[in-house]
Structure 1
């Protein structure tokens, strides 16, 4: 169908140009044809299947004490975490409960921060917006979250009238829009009642938060300040009624509302902001001075509301869908033609009980992409541990950016599922804290290897430890070594490797690699056997004898240095850079001895271990000794002994763990080319690590499991880390037939594949940079390649399973068997 539309489009376009050139007075006909072309063009980007989370009852909202500690040292509210449905635009996130009595819209904004769990600043709830509707029973109830257009809906019948609500979070307008309508005029009556949560008087513990709600005519304003950072915040809710009347009521600082009476329909525009600005001073200045001099958010919040009103609901909706689908529609995955007719929670429950529905597996894959689009957009902060959603005063683990696996996992699906631009928020964030990170590097080297300290501050590079928030960063130590920095720059290298954007490499990727390599080079100490080892060294969060285990040269630290050095040297060659420091890298890289095999046949976690598991927790959630296999590339098919040893480690570590940890194992088994085992991990995540609204669970809710699972499924379908593109490298028996369109391979190749009975039927490649394309597949010996003019393309063959051909930028190629 997609190919047919493209062919029709080309034919009409050629014919239209011919008419325009031959008949100058056929303007109307020409415009009509262009309109048809526009329609075809829009339709050609639509996915073949609708993906919807839906439920036949509202989310529970039984309340509770969210300060009660019940889950891994953090609060847990089953109703919010399991049943609410998330919408987001990168900066703001809302959780929709879909209730008919008192609707709850829980609102978060990523720069809204308080003291946090570790006094580094943390993500906190912005506001609760209640709609007192008073429909205490409903018929034909349904609430949905449509992934195809990022719109959530509620519909039901009450006393013979059909009611519908629609919610979306617009990135272009930076507002959340809600529309309420009824099948009969004059039937919309409710109260808009926002509440600012967790208000405290300013105090010596610096946990105070002031707040005031004011209703006037058709506008409710929420404003206040966070004590810890002297951070002002403001939100506005504009109520537009069609028919009926509005009346505002103010009963106190946090008790103001607007009554809507007998309207035909009502639209709410919601937006919030703080005085936060992402720049290096956020990470360099004391808390009280971080935002001093920044503009109060009132101006930008008022402007957003004003512009939303000017554009109107339908225009905002249309632009929201176009903006969102620009990203979401890039990947089409078809593993089943079946679309189940039961609610999502029942579908998940059946899956947990062994009835595995392939549609749910597809839905979960696309849901991960939806969540990344909704929580990481250019101009906003990156997706944090909870994405962009949080109802608590102190988000679990501060809602921060944890650099010993979690923030990396957030961005694993950005590159292979065709969402590379969504990494820009993390890149901007990283570059904003780079000056502070240079100071952390100096501190670390001064403390642990002072002889290596360079008197020129910048020559010591930059570093990042495990913990980081929107307000501060840490250096390595405690329970994770310097390898966290190399783990982070792998994301930068992948951003280049998938896009092959040379300007990006020069301006962003290479400086990140160079600075990190300079720091890592100064964490190494010479050993009697000639090796260079990180000292002190920690495998992230691994505990031995009731304490974090300190070592020398653990595999995680050594292998992440190796990955950074390799990527840096390749980048230097591409850019023809002659930096003298590269000589140091070349001298050190051969002395890292980064991968070692133990007596159990395992990849060691610690150099001093002999048999697997004699040091540390046997089935620890982290599996950091295999980060050189994924997301790194050091362990691969060209290192068969290491690859087999990695499988031993994976087997002994075990499958069942917390949500994100199972996601890492999934990606590792995919890299091991074991499709059935990778599929088992995907099933385990859905069975044990997923909540009823399909959020990932640690517990409590952590979004990295969603992102890691989506990346893992893509890795099962397509790999490109071994110097060639390999379709279906880890296809399980249960996915014997299917197709995908739009997954990305390194070299900036867009790949589409169809297969039956586990055998590839066709491969289509769009070369977005015009680089040589190398493909590995069983049928390579008999394959032919045609270009988009159906001309045969000359190929080179390497053995029976690899072929290579030259490409032109922007052209499509088909591999025929």
Structure 2
């Protein structure tokens, strides 16, 4: 059935007042939050390789002794005491993701008196483009922003409806240690570095220059034959009397993988940025936009969703179905914020479609082949000491970090996750051997760009969770079952699954009734009331542990059948262990019990 396409746009009728109101764009590596200010505009920038710190040591030689202590307390039913003792198994804080800086645009004072009723700000999910429109007098001003993956650039076009009406200044700034200047090619240059160690909020990052270095180049082009460009204070460019202007932003950093110290990196961020800009500077705006659109829509257009307010037979009642479908098409002059508010009383199905496709847009924008894995905010961050949902900092959170990948249509967007798992397995082997005297590899609840694998510093209820690597491995098998890519299974997935299974086999211990158990065991960010009435978070064989282990073991068995490795000794061990895993417990009300040691 053919139906009219509904516009899938996130819209606002005013500039953003808060960072969370700004509109995100990204090409996987480079991102921006567009605020849409009128007299002054900010594009807050991120490069996914800008983090604090350097490669670390993720082992604790005192952990085996502490592990025996915790296990003994759990065996004796002293769960609160075990929780307290388990602090000895936690480690150092993960490093934190940084912001790159800001593009600052300052327009004429006349823009302060813009006609508010003409203001419109939108993110078009179909084109991955942010557009801002407003009028000052009889002149309509338009800004368009997009982040191109094929050309690795953030592009901004600013124009007015009358010749010579465009005047503004532009600069780059950053909260990181940096310096900026203007070269002789109408370009703003910014160079800086991230802190070489994670700093508490009260300390200044300036001077702590052992971390990742970065550069950004902002190229300015204006209409031919109309308008002039001036240099202000060697830090700003001033445009006067132009028809239009195009800004091209490229960035680079010295990050050269999770195992290379920034000081040892041979990469030259400034030279790389200049080369990147040189490759694209002669391309027209339409060429850049066309490259961006073809690349983005190749992913985005793989799936569509149409919802109606009630179910009817689409085959027998096509006309009625179309009417019901279009019933969800609201007046799109109404902002998305107002649509969210009205959803409580009018369940608009087109808003559900918008939310669904917005999630796909965000994943495409923050996770592409060759980029870093998406963190808890995807790609976007505006703080030196960022937070996420009350957590101590923004991080790669392995309990729930990877954004829903919709492998049925965005399988390429999973590649950064698989690359990251490979890095984790290298550090994780050392952590497994030293901390737990186990083979294979292990990862805990949090990580960072340096592939941290040890338990983080913090409350035991979330920091002590050696199931992080196993949980990530479930994505490997999911990817294969959709793509049926046997080379991926053989070369990438199965070796990682093997290493993970080796650790799990060693981590499991003989327990009650002959079952194989995990001890210590947690269910991240949860605690329970123990039989003695005390609050605790450490026990044995949480349902979450056992479910993840069962899923990984089942994937190993299934993968071995595909690869003709059913007779491998490891597979035999996994088969036997599967039959002895601690079973899921069901409460009297029929619910699944997460904790095996609690009163009901």
| Distance (Å, rounded) in 1 between the aligned partners of 2:587 and 2:127 | 51
Asked if structure 1 preserves the Cα contact closer than 8 Å seen for 2:405 and 2:413, the reply is no
The answer on 1:263 being equivalent to 2:253 is no
Q: Which residue of 171, 181, 192 corresponds with 1:214?
A: 181
In the alignment, structure 1 segments of 5+ residues that lack a partner are: 3-45, 61-78, 200-209, 283-288, 447-452, 454-459, 612-817
Partner residue of 2:576? 587
What does 1:514-593 align with in structure 2 at a 5 Å threshold?
514-544=498-528, 549-577=537-565, 578-593=567-582
Partner residue of 2:383? 392
| Distance (Å, rounded) in 2 between the aligned partners of 1:527 and 1:59 | 57
- Quickly say closer, same or farther: Cα 1:194–1:276, change in 2 above 3 A: same
Q: Which residue of 226, 244, 258 corresponds with 2:194?
A: 226
- Quickly say closer, same or farther: Cα 1:59–1:540, change in 2 above 3 A: same
Tell me how far 1:589 sits from its aligned partner. Answer: 1.0
| Distance (Å, rounded) in 2 between the aligned partners of 1:548 and 1:608 | 11
* Larger RCO of the pair (alpha carbons < 8 Å, separation 6+): 2
Report the secondary structure of 2:221's partner residue: strand
Counting matched residue pairs gives 510
The answer on 1:414 being equivalent to 2:403 is no
Report the secondary structure of 1:132's partner residue: strand
Partner residue of 1:147? 125
| Distance (Å, rounded) in 2 between the aligned partners of 1:529 and 1:543 | 25
Asked if structure 1 preserves the Cα contact closer than 8 Å seen for 2:52 and 2:211, the reply is no
The answer on 1:602 being equivalent to 2:588 is no
Tell me how far 1:92 sits from its aligned partner. Answer: 1.1
Asked if structure 1 preserves the Cα contact closer than 8 Å seen for 2:168 and 2:240, the reply is yes
Report the secondary structure of 1:497's partner residue: helix
Tell me how far 1:497 sits from its aligned partner. Answer: 0.8
Tell me how far 1:115 sits from its aligned partner. Answer: 5.1
Report the secondary structure of 1:332's partner residue: coil
Partner residue of 1:93? 31
Asked if structure 2 preserves the Cα contact closer than 8 Å seen for 1:276 and 1:291, the reply is no
Asked if structure 1 preserves the Cα contact closer than 8 Å seen for 2:405 and 2:414, the reply is no
How does the TM-score come out when normalised to structure 2? 0.82
Tell me how far 1:476 sits from its aligned partner. Answer: 5.0
In the alignment, structure 2 segments of 5+ residues that lack a partner are: 55-90, 197-209, 308-324
Partner residue of 1:129? 103
- Quickly say closer, same or farther: Cα 1:119–1:537, change in 2 above 3 A: closer
| Distance (Å, rounded) in 1 between the aligned partners of 2:499 and 2:509 | 19
The answer on 1:324 being equivalent to 2:319 is no
Q: Which residue of 249, 274, 295 corresponds with 2:232?
A: 249
Partner residue of 1:474? 453
| Distance (Å, rounded) in 2 between the aligned partners of 1:51 and 1:501 | 33
Asked if structure 1 preserves the Cα contact closer than 8 Å seen for 2:443 and 2:467, the reply is no
Asked if structure 1 preserves the Cα contact closer than 8 Å seen for 2:98 and 2:194, the reply is no
Partner residue of 1:345? 337
Asked if structure 2 preserves the Cα contact closer than 8 Å seen for 1:402 and 1:467, the reply is yes
- Quickly say closer, same or farther: Cα 1:366–1:356, change in 2 above 3 A: same
Partner residue of 1:777? none
Report the secondary structure of 1:234's partner residue: strand
Partner residue of 2:489? 505
Asked if structure 2 preserves the Cα contact closer than 8 Å seen for 1:600 and 1:610, the reply is no
| Distance (Å, rounded) in 1 between the aligned partners of 2:100 and 2:330 | 36
| Distance (Å, rounded) in 2 between the aligned partners of 1:444 and 1:355 | 55
Tell me how far 1:463 sits from its aligned partner. Answer: 1.1
| Distance (Å, rounded) in 2 between the aligned partners of 1:511 and 1:414 | 24
Tell me how far 1:130 sits from its aligned partner. Answer: 1.1
Asked if structure 2 preserves the Cα contact closer than 8 Å seen for 1:482 and 1:557, the reply is no
Q: Which residue of 412, 423, 441 corresponds with 1:462?
A: 441
Asked if structure 2 preserves the Cα contact closer than 8 Å seen for 1:96 and 1:104, the reply is yes
Report the secondary structure of 1:123's partner residue: coil
What does 1:544-693 align with in structure 2 at a 5 Å threshold?
544=528, 549-577=537-565, 578-611=567-600
| Distance (Å, rounded) in 1 between the aligned partners of 2:468 and 2:417 | 15
Asked if structure 2 preserves the Cα contact closer than 8 Å seen for 1:465 and 1:475, the reply is yes
Partner residue of 1:671? none
Tell me how far 1:579 sits from its aligned partner. Answer: 2.3
Tell me how far 1:90 sits from its aligned partner. Answer: 0.4
Asked if structure 1 preserves the Cα contact closer than 8 Å seen for 2:254 and 2:265, the reply is no
Tell me how far 1:518 sits from its aligned partner. Answer: 0.4
- Quickly say closer, same or farther: Cα 1:376–1:96, change in 2 above 3 A: same
Superposed CA deviations along residues 460-488 of structure 1, whole A, max 9, x for unmatched, are 11111001011241335833433322211
Report the secondary structure of 2:447's partner residue: coil
| Distance (Å, rounded) in 1 between the aligned partners of 2:34 and 2:262 | 33
Tell me how far 1:528 sits from its aligned partner. Answer: 4.3
Superposed CA deviations along residues 22-75 of structure 1, whole A, max 9, x for unmatched, are xxxxxxxxxxxxxxxxxxxxxxxx993321111121112xxxxxxxxxxxxxxx
Report the secondary structure of 2:294's partner residue: helix
Tell me how far 1:93 sits from its aligned partner. Answer: 1.1
Tell me how far 1:433 sits from its aligned partner. Answer: 2.7
Superposed CA deviations along residues 294-343 of structure 1, whole A, max 9, x for unmatched, are 31211221122112212221111001001000000011111132321111
Report the secondary structure of 2:229's partner residue: strand
How does the TM-score come out when normalised to structure 1? 0.60
What does 1:19-38 align with in structure 2 at a 5 Å threshold?
none
| Distance (Å, rounded) in 1 between the aligned partners of 2:443 and 2:92 | 16
Report the secondary structure of 2:397's partner residue: coil
Superposed CA deviations along residues 617-658 of structure 1, whole A, max 9, x for unmatched, are xxxxxxxxxxxxxxxxxxxxxxxxxxxxxxxxxxxxxxxxxx
| Distance (Å, rounded) in 2 between the aligned partners of 1:268 and 1:366 | 28
RMSD of Structure 2 on Structure 1 (CA) = 2.1
The answer on 1:493 being equivalent to 2:484 is no
Report the secondary structure of 1:327's partner residue: helix
Report the secondary structure of 2:592's partner residue: coil
Partner residue of 2:251? 272
Tell me how far 1:547 sits from its aligned partner. Answer: 6.2
| Distance (Å, rounded) in 2 between the aligned partners of 1:463 and 1:298 | 37
